[in-house]
Amino acid sequence: MDTSRVYLILKASGTPGAQRAAPPSPPPDACRCPRSHRWALKLSCAGLLLLLLTLIGMSVLVRVLIQKPSIGKCRECIQENITNPTESPAKLSCTKGWLPHRDKCIHFSQESNIWKEGLADCAMKGATLLLIQDQEELRFVKDSANVKGSAFWIGLNHTWPDKNWRWINGSTLSSDVLQITGEAKKDSCTSISKDRVVSEDCASDNMWICQKEPTLIPETLCPDS
């Protein structure tokens, strides 16, 4: 009886104590749980940060790897463009048999024919008969004609009935570009040789000069790629 009473007393006194102690006891439990959570949080945060940094690092690396070869391939052309901006694009992109000059490519025919056939031949080559823009171009063409040793049709004829020298692009000739030797008649076309520009019968035979725009081919600009 005594022992059971003691037990009961103990129990009775123990329960409130346990109840009282219970509130503080959950805190250790509650503390232990968030602490482990906090650790897990810290760890995952660190992991995420590491992942993010790795991703950034990798994307930078990939970008550098992608850009580097193309920069390397084109560096020469870009430098050439910078050092020689007016000449190199045309110079690099005239097809074989065409002479680069400023912003155009020029071709001297090897055969002779009447003016109209020269006109048609240039058109077939995706070009037109030569239009002379200024004194500098006139000099260049005369010098080239001197080397070839012949007379060449250019894209300038005498139109009727307005009696004008007219370029094939429709513009009339301005006398400060070139002077034409010879009579301007109904069927007169213009040929150029080493020292002069002559009015000739369009039905006579001459070689001719075609011009066209340089073709901008990236492969020509960057032979590596």
Ligand X SMILES: *[C@@H]1O[C@H](CO)[C@@H](O)[C@H](O)[C@H]1NC(C)=O
Q: Binders of ligand X among 39-98, rule CB under 6 A?
A: 77-78, 81, 85, 89
- Examine residue 171 and tell whether it contacts ligand X (CB under 6 A): yes
Please choose, out of 36-44, 64-72, 97-105, 168-176, the segment that lies near ligand X by the rule CB under 6 A. Answer: 168-176
- Examine residue 169 and tell whether it contacts ligand X (CB under 6 A): yes
CB of 153 to ligand X, least distance (A): 10
C-alpha neighbours within 13 Å on the C-beta side of residue 56: 6
Please choose, out of 15-23, 26-34, 51-59, 129-137, the segment that lies near ligand X by the rule CB under 6 A. Answer: 129-137
Closest CA to 196 of 179, 183, 214, 219: 179
Closer CB to ligand X, residue 31 or residue 216? 216
User: β-pairing, 188-192 with 197-201?
Assistant: antiparallel
- Measured between alpha carbons, how far is 43 from 5 in angstroms, rounded to an integer? 53
C-alpha neighbours within 13 Å on the C-beta side of residue 209: 28
Among 145, 154, 178, 202, the residue binding ligand X under the rule CB under 6 A is 202
Closer CB to ligand X, residue 108 or residue 167? 167
CB of 43 to ligand X, least distance (A): 51
Q: How many residues bind ligand X (CB under 6 A)?
A: 20
Among 76, 143, 187, 224, the residue binding ligand X under the rule CB under 6 A is 187
Closer CB to ligand X, residue 54 or residue 133? 133
User: β-pairing, 104-108 with 128-129?
Assistant: unpaired
Closer CB to ligand X, residue 28 or residue 85? 85
Cα dihedral: 66, 69, 75, 81 (round 10): -60
Closer CB to ligand X, residue 29 or residue 219? 219
- Examine residue 208 and tell whether it contacts ligand X (CB under 6 A): no
Asked whether the beta carbons of 135 and 177 are under 8 A apart, the reply is yes
- Residue 210: alpha-carbon gap to chain centroid: 27
Distances (CA, A) of 93 to 88, 96, 129, 179: 8, 9, 19, 32
DSSP string covering 85-144 = TTTHHHHHHPPTT-EEETTEEEEE-SS-B-HHHHHHHHHHTT-EE----SHHHHHHHHHH
Closer CB to ligand X, residue 109 or residue 199? 199
Which parts of this chain interact with ligand X (CB under 6 A)? Answer: 77-78, 81, 85, 89, 115-116, 131-133, 157, 159, 167-171, 187, 202, 221
